[in-house]
Amino acid sequence: MSRYKNFLSSLEVSLKSTNRNSQDIKLIAVSKKKSAIEIQKVIDEGHQSFGENQIQEIEDKWPGLKKINSNISLHFIGSIQSRKVEQIYKHCDVIHSIDRKKIVKKFDELEALGDIKRKYFIQINTGNESQKSGVLLNEADEFISDCKSNYNLNIVGLMCLPPIDEDPRNHFSKLADLAKKFNLNCLSMGMSGDYQVALECGATHIRIGTHIFGERS
């Protein structure tokens, strides 16, 4: 059995143990540092949602992959540089990491110019880590309110990356409470090491790399 099929079996067990429904969970196969050939193998097994965090990699791999796999959904999960916004908007269907007004304005301007509508998550820095992207917790209410009130973006939910040395449950719970406060239905949280806890806390989008593609070289 392939690594991908093995993970689907494990995920099914996790969903049952957390009383979650597979139809309510979007599994994002994180394909960064993986070749188009490796990605195509997972596509051939029936998977359609993939995540990348570098626009250069996306430009190298995904135009060709999308050309022969028209039903693919590509998620941008990395930190966003303002000069890369246009390319991210062009190539990615869902953006998980908007976290600054400058970025929000740029996406809003791009959407106003064309007829392509993307889905967006606001990244929250639940650990208030200085080296990490995301809106600080004490600024989150104002940022989310401003995005929802003053920009015409389809903001569907929140995303977080918990500190690696802390219990993720606390951070996932904070994100879930914040999303509920603003009637946002989607929670992008949980990776290979902590997705089960994320499911328990209400994750709707889990970002899995290692369990699907193996270790990165």
C-alpha to C-alpha distance for 96 and 157, rounded to whole angstroms: 9
The fraction of the chain above a pLDDT of 90, given in percent, is 96
CATH 3.20.20.10 matches 3-8+19-213: yes
97: which 2 tokens? 């990491």
- Give the count of alpha carbons within 13 A of 78, CB side only: 20
**Segments making up each domain of the chain, as ranges:** 3-8+19-213
The 10s digit of each residue's pLDDT in 172-196 is 999 999 999 999 999 999 999 999 9
DSSP 134: S
Looking at per-residue pLDDT, the higher value among 88 and 215 belongs to: 88
Share the mean pLDDT of the chain.
96
Distance set, CA 58 to CA 16, 38, 182 (Å): 34, 14, 32
Choose among 59, 63, 57, 103: nearest CA to 79: 103
Query: How confident is the model at residue 7, as a pLDDT?
Result: 97
Query: For residue 115, what pLDDT band results from cuts at 50, 70 and 90?
Result: confident
209 has a pLDDT exceeding 70: yes
128-170 pLDDT tens trace:
998 999 999 999 999 999 999 999 999 999 999 999 999 999 9
**Partners of 207 in beta bridges:** 28
Contact 213, 3 (CB under 8 A): yes
* Pairing relationship of beta strands 26-30 and 94-98 according to DSSP bridges: unpaired
Q: What percent of the chain has pLDDT over 70?
A: 100
The answer to whether residues 36 and 61 touch, using CB atoms and an 8 Å cutoff, is yes
Spatial separation of the C-alpha atoms in residues 203 and 15, rounded to whole Å: 11
Write the DSSP assignment of 13-77 as a string of letters. Answer: HHHHHTT--GGG-EEEEE-TT--HHHHHHHHHTT--EEEES-HHHHHHHHHHHHHH-TT-EEEE-
Q: What is the pTM of this model?
A: 0.96
Those residues whose C-beta lies under 8 Å from the C-beta of residue 102, and which sit 6 or more positions away, are 82
pLDDT digits (tens, 9 = 90+) for 11-27: 999 999 999 999 999 99
User: Which pLDDT does position 183 carry in this prediction?
Assistant: 98
Quick check: 217 pLDDT over 90?
no
* pLDDT at residue 202, rounded to an integer: 98
Looking at residue 215, its pLDDT comes to 84
